Amino acid sequence: MGILELWRRSLERSRSERTVITYSKCLELFARNTGLTEDELLNTEPVHLYQHIDSSSLSPASVLTHLSALKHFFKFAVRRGYMSREAYTKLEAAIEELRDEIGRRNVRRAPKALTREELSRIMESTKNTVYERVYTLFLYSGIRLSEYKHLKKDNFFMDKSGIYWLRLPAYATKGNKERMAPIMGPTKEETYQVTEKLARWLENYEENLVVNAGSLQVYTYRLSHRLNIPFSLHSFRHTYITNLINSGFPAEVVKEFAGHSHVKTTIDIYYRFSPERARKLVEEFLRV
């Protein structure tokens, strides 16, 4: 029995009939586009993944589905001893890079914070679901998707002021440097409201705050189109950083909270002149 048939049988035990059909078609198209035989699929290289995505006319949502199917197949091959862990790690990195690229394409305009109205519509559409809770985490922590995948309950800690912080180890961050960031909103009141919610959610972290990264991206892409709001998971990060800036945090502090490698990145992308922010800073200065 070939590896594809073994994989399909495994799928049938854990996924819906629709998923089995969809994932199987994804593998068939991948093999056809790359010219790989069933046995050669186990020797897939990152270049084959890029070749498949670049040569197809798939929509962004379909690309994400194909990447999820491919990752599932390769992970199955590793667990059954058909593929080395080293080979899988290279393919996984390429898949995540392609997923991030799709996420960036989804936001067609320059990085911007989501408005209150947009956030309200997004949260209302996900109310009482795990997606609402995960979106809240992204919005108030500025976490990246690549960091979220490594996140555990132990990464949350509460300081003496009574708010939560995220402490991410170096291996989990984009710049390979430990990152610490406060989980906070644009106001003190909103920050403590989120703290109360997070305290409840952390009681059962796996159930309340864990979603498969690929599923999260697909869901977000589809929700963006359904609501006609151009946003991705990264939009929550832009909003978090913008809130820090509007609250008066200096660039070198925002750099550390955001996990940017250089303060120039923080300044060039986010510190554009804002008349509203300037007015608030003058008012705060005169209030002292």
Q: Does 12 reside within a domain?
A: yes
pLDDT value at residue 269: 74
What is the domain-level CATH number for residue 214?
1.10.443.10
First to last CA, the chain: 77
Domain membership flag for residue 16:
yes
For residues 75 and 172, membership in a common domain is answered with no
With respect to residue 111, please indicate whether it lies within any of the assigned structural domains.
no
User: Residue 221 domain-assigned?
Assistant: yes
pLDDT in tens, the chain (288 residues): 789 999 999 999 988 888 999 999 999 999 998 999 988 999 999 989 988 888 877 888 888 899 999 999 999 999 999 999 999 998 998 898 888 777 655 544 456 789 999 999 999 999 999 999 999 999 999 999 989 989 999 999 999 999 999 999 998 887 788 999 999 999 999 999 999 999 999 999 999 999 988 889 889 989 999 999 989 999 999 999 999 988 889 999 999 999 988 888 788 777 765 666 677 768 777 775
Residue 278 sits in the same domain as residue 153: yes
Predicted pLDDT of residue 272: 65
Asked if residue 245 and residue 162 are part of one domain, the reply reads yes
Domain that holds residue 19: 3-106
The token pair at 138 is: 């992204």
Residue 41 is assigned to a structural domain of this protein? yes
Statement to judge: residues 35 and 133 lie in one domain: no
Select from 106, 129, 164 the last residue of a domain. 106
Q: Are 107 and 232 in contact (CB under 8 A)?
A: yes
Last residue of a domain, one of 106, 136, 158: 106
- With contact defined as beta carbons under 8 Å apart, do 179 and 188 qualify? no
User: Would 184 be classed as within a structural domain?
Assistant: yes
Domain count, the chain: 2
- Determine, yes or no, domain membership for 130: yes
Are 34 and 170 in the same domain?
A: no
Alpha carbon of 53 to those of 56, 68, 72, 260: distances in Å?
5, 13, 17, 29
Same domain, 84 and 218: no
Same domain as 263, residue 138: yes
Considering the domain architecture, whether residues 216 and 273 belong to the same structural domain is answered as yes
Residue 23 placed within a domain: yes
Say if residue 140 is in the same domain as residue 267: yes
**Are residues 29 and 56 in contact, defined by beta-carbon separation less than 8 angstroms?**
yes
Kind of pairing, strands 179-182 and 164-168?
antiparallel
Q: Do 153 and 90 belong to one domain? A: no
Are β-strands 156-158 and 179-182 bridged in parallel, bridged antiparallel, or unpaired?
unpaired
| Same domain for 270 and 138 | yes
Q: What is the pLDDT of residue 39?
A: 86
CATH of the domain at 38: 1.10.150
- Mind listing the pLDDT tens digit for each residue in 226-250? 999 989 999 999 999 999 988 889 9
Given 57, 87, 106, the domain boundary residue is 106
Same domain for 94 and 128? no
